[in-house]
Amino acid sequence: MILYSDRDDHYSQRVRIVLAEKDISAEINEAKPEETPEDILSISPYMKLPILVDRELAIHDPTVMMEYLDERFPHPPLLPVYPVARANCRTLMLRIDREWCPMIDALIIANKSEKELMKIREELLYEISSVAPTFKEFKFFMNDEFTLVDCCLGPILWRLPSLGIKLPINRHLKPIIDYQNTVFDRPGFLDSLSSIERDLKSE
């Protein structure tokens, strides 16, 4: 099994977290897309990383990769057993992908004016603030166990300082700050970080 992973991409880190959490033996080939051989990139119709190759199977969507790894290596499970709870996790992942990731990606690319980027930062901070109360009820994101949803959210929260967003330390946001510290301290999360990503939090 080989994961072709962008060394500072939050989508790639999601998959690396799953590999680390499950202690899956895989070769992780870290590079930027422009450094990746075209025959590898051509596996993806979008010519993008990450790409997971497992024998004859090649997967180019990070969410499909995570679910495939969770099903192929079922222990520890990263999706709930019951269908309703699994559907809720998938809905949360979809929300992160559709609502939060476009803002994160826009801030990373940074090809807009500073005024536009500031507006995106404010909107993202508002979205994060709106879910903060849920962390009073659950240890992780809408769940008492670490799931694939946390594999998606953790890399985003880790990148906030490098994108010019600092979560204010106040009573309202304390639950999500406590949550992110819990996630950041997990061995699986720490093992998933590339050398570049380790430096992001201090920026």
Q: Tell me the pTM.
A: 0.93
Higher pLDDT, 31 or 115: 115
Q: The tokens of 4 are what?
A: 């072709």
CATH pick for 83-186 out of 1.20.1600.10, 3.40.50.300, 1.20.1050.10, 3.20.20.140:
1.20.1050.10
CB under 8 Å, gap of 24 or more: what pairs does 136-142 form?
A: 136/175, 139/179, 139/182, 140/179, 140/182, 140/183, 141/92, 141/179, 142/88, 142/89, 142/92
Which pLDDT belongs to residue 195? 84
Which pLDDT belongs to residue 61? 94
Q: How confident is the model at residue 201 (pLDDT cuts 50, 70, 90)?
A: low
Which pLDDT belongs to residue 47? 87
Assess whether the previous peptide bond of 161 is cis (omega < 30° from 0). Answer: no
Q: How confident is the model at residue 25 (pLDDT cuts 50, 70, 90)?
A: very high
CB under 8 Å, gap of 24 or more: what pairs does 172-181 form?
A: 172/129, 172/132, 172/133, 173/128, 173/129, 173/132, 175/132, 175/133, 175/134, 175/135, 175/136, 176/128, 176/131, 176/132, 176/135, 178/135, 179/135, 179/139, 179/140, 179/141, 180/154
How is the chain split into domains, by residue range?
Answer: 2-72, 83-186
pLDDT at 102 over 60: yes
Over range 166-188, report the average pLDDT. Answer: 92
Mean confidence (pLDDT) of the chain: 92
Over range 15-20, report the average pLDDT. Answer: 97
pLDDT at 153 over 90: yes
pLDDT at 18 over 70: yes
pLDDT tens digit string along 76-88? 999 999 999 999 9
pLDDT at 202 over 60: no
The rounded percent of the chain whose pLDDT value lies above 70 is 99
pLDDT tens digit string along 27-66? 999 888 888 888 888 888 888 899 999 999 999 999 999 9
CATH pick for 2-72 out of 3.40.30.10, 1.25.40.10, 3.40.50.300, 3.30.450.30:
3.40.30.10
